[in-house]
Amino acid sequence: AKPRVGYTYKSDGMANKIDKLLRQYRVKDIMSMAVVVKEKCSIYDAIVTLFVEDTGSIFVLDNEGYLNGIVSRKDLLKTTLGQADIHKVPVSVIMTRMPNIITATVDDMVVEVTKKIVEHEVDSLPVVKCFIGTNNEEKYEVVGRVTKTNIARLLLDLACK
């Protein structure tokens, strides 16, 4: 069910200016706090966290506190339909793992992360800082999250100034 997009630009002379304005906004201007759990956290506890924090996705950290996975409301819903004992199975069993996670940085343009969110059909991205580990591997510290709600709020604020 793809959206039917029927609009054309109603004010063509404006397009370039709008483009420039939108490109001034960065992830750090709109991001929210990240909601994180450890990978040993049970699926049940992850679901409880999701409701308590009222968020759509949870980021899963490894023992050192770096980003290792992500679980969405959709992943959790799928799991509750299956046979797994959600009180015992850790969230790491069902999470999407690095390096298959789409991330953002505080300095990314809002336009670019909006593109990532729409194209990859996800609700939010972890905002990360990259570090190089002792074995030259990349490690990601989670510093926030950027969601479709953050983007909607920006549009609203631009319109309601």
Per CB under 8 A, residues contacting a copy of itself are 1-7, 9-11, 14-25, 28-33, 35, 44, 47, 50-51, 53-55, 73-74, 76-78, 80-81, 110-111, 114-115, 117-118, 121, 123, 147-161
Helix (H, G, I), strand (E, B) or coil at 119: helix
Give least dist CB 69 to a copy of itself, A. 18
Measured from the CB atom, is 123 or 141 closer to a copy of itself? Answer: 123
Kindly state the DSSP code that residue 100 receives in the 8-state scheme. Answer: S
Measured from the CB atom, is 41 or 110 closer to a copy of itself? Answer: 110
CB-count burial class (<10 Å; 0-12, 13-18, 19+) for 49: middle
CB 102 within 8 A of CB 112: no
Measured from the CB atom, is 3 or 99 closer to a copy of itself? Answer: 3
CB 110 within 8 A of CB 22: yes
